[in-house]
Amino acid sequence: MKMNVAVEDGKACCGCGACSYVCSKRAITMRYDDEGFLYPVVEKDLCISCGCCINVCAYRTNIEMPKRGVSKVFGVKHCDSSIRAKSRSGGVFVAISDVVLEKGGIVYGAVLETPYHVKHIRATDRASRDLMCGSKYVESDINNILPLIESDLSTGKTVLFSGTPCQSEAIARLFRKKYANLILCDFICHGVPSQKLWSDYLKWAKRKYNDEVSAVDFRDKSMHSWSSHVEKIILSKRVVYSRRYANLFNANQCLRPSCYICPYATPIRSSDFSLGDFWGIGNVNPSFNDEKGVSLLMLRTKVAEELFLEIKDTLETFETTMDRIKHYNLKRPTSRPIDREAFWTDYRKHGFGYVSRKYGGYDFLRKIKMKLVDHID
């Protein structure tokens, strides 16, 4: 039997592409399935059963990587209000990445390449890094940056990678044993919808409003509070605020199958930092919450603690403990809805508008309420 990433359940895969990257025989390619998620496809005639792909797979938990619990945890707000305004919570990622850039390092993170497509890019300056600010509630493709990360690491440059916990684990398995100049920053992850679903949403909006989509914001803070989860669609002639996509995201049927069995829904990870929205701040330190965004910052390593000391003067902070943090995705993965398959069957047959009504709560009465009370479409 040939041992490769195609042997086990194909859904136990986060689509990172690490397996394809390490395959010396080019036997593995990454392809989209009909839900819009990337998966490895193995050319069996080329595979030599070397096992390299299995050794870097973030979902093969029998492969041991050094993992650590959280040593310190903070509530954080950037002192610069303009930085917080363009961030979805407290702006701590900007503070961390500023230090890396100032020392000549490289930052990798997710950006909206176009309104329709999210991908990871390489940043050597603040302008490129600023494109990474803000939430992207969609799976980002990191396959294109893997050779760039290794090239930068091989030159001795400090590299900061920011991504989902499974992506961060993949980067750790690929590069951490060989390079000490890698800093990993992940976030508390609920799960990821596909690029296809997001793109189809914007195409649906284009048809609905008969107007071109020029830009989007997954979570607008300019007109709504940081906890509101309202997406902002900027068209050529108007701006639309909506919860159509957010409602589907929170209903959970649209998530990648591996998200329901995620082994990283725990504080114990390979990353140096973990970031998140500080949900529940009102029960921990209510006076710290000004409704403009508060970050949760978790430190695991000496590298993280030393970097935190360098950025501390740019932040307002308070220290707390893990027992006061109530994010359920630090305790367990998002549950798989019993109607997930029905969602995708309906989606294939009827498209985005239909599933947004049926699964996202956009029936006629609720739509009228949102227009009158919340002023959103």
Half-sphere CA count of 256, side-chain side, radius 13 A = 32
258-312 pLDDT, tens digit each: 999 999 999 999 999 999 999 999 899 999 998 888 999 999 999 999 999 999 9
Record the tokens describing residue 328, joined without a space. Answer: 């359920």
CATH 3.30.70.20 spans which residues of the chain?
Answer: 1-64
Quote the pTM value: 0.93
Whether the per-residue pLDDT at 62 is higher than 80: the answer is no
**CB-CB contact of 5 with 16 (8 Å):** no
Query: Domain 1-64 is of which CATH architecture?
Result: 2-Layer Sandwich (3.30)
Whether the per-residue pLDDT at 5 is higher than 80: the answer is no
First vs last Cα of the chain: how many Å apart? 54
Over residues 23-52, mean pLDDT: 92
Whether the per-residue pLDDT at 348 is higher than 90: the answer is yes
215-247 pLDDT, tens digit each: 998 877 666 666 677 889 999 999 998 889 999
Whether the per-residue pLDDT at 201 is higher than 90: the answer is yes
Q: Please state, rounded to an integer, the average pLDDT across all residues of the chain.
A: 90
Q: What angle do CA 154, 156, 158 make, to 5 degrees?
A: 110
**Beta bridge partner(s), residue 30:** 40
CATH number for the region 72-192+256-330 comes to 3.40.640
From the CA atom positions of the chain, what is the Rg in Å?
Answer: 21
Separation of alpha carbons 85 and 179, rounded Å: 35
Separation of alpha carbons 176 and 181, rounded Å: 8
356-375 pLDDT, tens digit each: 999 987 655 555 555 544 44
71-110 pLDDT, tens digit each: 999 999 999 988 887 877 889 999 999 999 999 999 999 9
CATH 3.40.640 spans which residues of the chain?
Answer: 72-192+256-330
Instruction: Tell me how far CA of residue 292 lies from CA of 83, 184, 222, in angstroms.
Output: 11, 26, 10
Whether the per-residue pLDDT at 377 is higher than 90: the answer is no
